[in-house]
Structure 1
C-alpha cells in the first residue's frame, strides 16, 4: 500500500502506470467514500493515463488526525503536495460529489497544476455547518451521535439513494463502502470536519476559475440534483455540461464505460469554448477504450 506523510497525516493513494504515461488523471472521491468508488472506472483510464487515486483524509485508508483542520482548502493543499512529492507538475483533476469541490479548490488556489477538470455530480453552493451545530460538535461524545445517525440511516438505504439502477448493488459493494466505518476514529474525525468545512466556493470565486471543465451529471441524481450542475455550468467560464440519462449520483459505479468515453474524449481534445447550450462540442467514440 502507498502512503505519503503530509501535514502530519499518512495519506493513502493508488498509483497506476507511473512509468508508461506522461498525462496524469487524479481521482478525488466524495463524502463518506474512498478510492473504492473508482474501482470500476480505473481499469478504463489506466490504459491511457497515469492514474492517481487518493483517499482524502479522514476517509478510506488515510489516517484520522484529530488535530488536523479538515477544510476543503487544506484537503486541496494535501492533494497538491502529494503530487509534488511524486514529481507530477500538472494533471487533470476528476472529482465526484465532495471531491468535485476539492478539485475546484485546487483549480482556484493552484491553477498552474490543473490542466483540465472533470466534475461528476459535484457538490455545489453548500453553506458551512450552522454555528449551533459547530458548537455542539465540540462536545466530548458528539462522535457517538454521528455513528448512531449513520447506523440508523443504514448502508443499504444510503447506497440505494445514490444509484438509479439498484440491481447493481452487491454484497461486495456494500462491504466496500461500510468497511472504512468500522473504526471509531472516523466518527471523531467527522466531528472535526463539521467544524472546519468552510462551505462550497461561491459564484464570485467560481467565475474566476479559467480551467476548462467538463461536468457529467446523472439525470436522476437525488443527492446533488441536476439543477446544481446547470448552475455550475453558468458560473464556470470554461465549462460544459453533459447529462447521463437513467443515472443517479454514483456515476463511477453506474456508468464507468460511458464516463470514461466522454472524459477521455474531452481530455484528449483541444480546449474548447463553452457552447451556448452547454453541449460538449465533440462526439465520443467507444472504440477508444
Structure 2
C-alpha cells in the first residue's frame, strides 16, 4: 500500500474516524473515497496509487468499519454517516470535494450531496447501492436481544470471506491471500459485530426517488456489467432519477470495480471531471 501524507484517527462527530490523506504537490482537486458495506479503505488499494498522481486523495474508513471507531453509542444511520463525512471535510478545511463512493459508500455520497450540495463539486458512484428499504421490524426488534451480535458474527462467518469475494468479483483468479486477509482482518474482533447490530437498527433506508430528483450535483455512475450485488438495473434507475448524471458500464466486471478495473475507473473519473469543469 502507498505511503500516505497522513494516516490515523481523528475524533469526528462523537467517534474515531480513520482516514488516509495523500496530498498532491500541485493539484487543487480533492477526491474523498468512501468504501462499501463490510469493507474499508483497503478496497481502494489499487485505485489510490493511480489517483494520487493526479489529485489530493482522502480515503475514509466509515464507522464502524476498518480502523474507525466501533462505538455502540454512535448512530449508524446514513444521514449521520454523511454528517461525519461533512465534519471531516470541514476539519480538513475542504470547501469543495469530489466524492467517490463504492456500493454503500455511494449511498453516503448521495446523502452528502442531498444535505450539503455546496460541498460536493462532483460525485462518482461506483456500483452504488440504491432504493434499499429500512430493515424489517422483526430484525430491528431482534437486534435488542442480548448477544444478538454473536448471531451476526455467525451469519458472516458461515458465508465466509472467500465466498463473499467470489460474489463481488467477476474474475475469481484475482482472489489471493493478500486480498482475503485484507477483507478479513477488520472482522477478527467482536466489537465490529456489536456495532453492526446497532447499524441494523439505525439504517434508515436509501434516499427515495423524490430526494434523488432534487440532487443537482454532476454524477458519474460506473457499473460492472456482471454486478451481482447491486445489479445494473439499479444503476440505470439511478441514472434516470439523478437529473445530471452519466452511466458507464464496464464489460467483464463485477461489483468490486475499484479492485477489478482501477485504470478504467481513473480514466473515466479524469474525463468526467474535465467535462464538468468546462460546463
Q: Is TM (by shorter chain) over 0.5?
A: yes
User: What are the Cα deviations for residues 118-169 of structure 1, in whole angstroms up to 9, with x where unaligned?
Assistant: 0000000000000110000011111000000000001100000000011111
Counterpart selection for 2:191 from 165, 168, 185: 185
Counterpart selection for 2:161 from 138, 147, 155: 155
**Correspondence 1:267 to 2:273:** yes
Counterpart selection for 1:123 from 106, 129, 133: 129
Between Structure 1 and Structure 2, how many residues are aligned?
273
CA distance, structure 1, for counterparts of residue 253 and residue 239 of structure 2 = 19
Counterpart selection for 1:39 from 42, 45, 50: 45
Instruction: Tell me the residue number matched to 2:179.
Output: 173
Counterpart selection for 1:51 from 42, 57, 76: 57
* Offset of residue 6 of structure 1: 1.1
Contact 1:212 1:271 (8 Å CA) reproduced? no
Instruction: Tell me the residue number matched to 1:69.
Output: 75
CA distance, structure 1, for counterparts of residue 276 and residue 224 of structure 2 = 25
Instruction: Tell me the residue number matched to 1:20.
Output: 26
CA distance, structure 2, for counterparts of residue 10 and residue 124 of structure 1 = 27
User: What are the Cα deviations for residues 189-229 of structure 1, in whole angstroms up to 9, with x where unaligned?
Assistant: 00000000000000000000000000000000000000000
* Offset of residue 21 of structure 1: 2.1
Instruction: Tell me the residue number matched to 2:233.
Output: 227
CA distance, structure 1, for counterparts of residue 234 and residue 201 of structure 2 = 24
TM-score (norm 1): 0.93
Contact 2:24 2:52 (8 Å CA) reproduced? no
CA distance, structure 2, for counterparts of residue 209 and residue 12 of structure 1 = 28
* Offset of residue 181 of structure 1: 0.1
Which 5+ residue runs of structure 2 have no aligned equivalent? 1-6
Instruction: Tell me the residue number matched to 2:107.
Output: 101
Contact 2:30 2:98 (8 Å CA) reproduced? yes
Counterpart selection for 1:80 from 80, 83, 86: 86
User: What are the Cα deviations for residues 93-118 of structure 1, in whole angstroms up to 9, with x where unaligned?
Assistant: 01000000000000000100000000
Distance 1:86 1:19, change over 3 A: farther
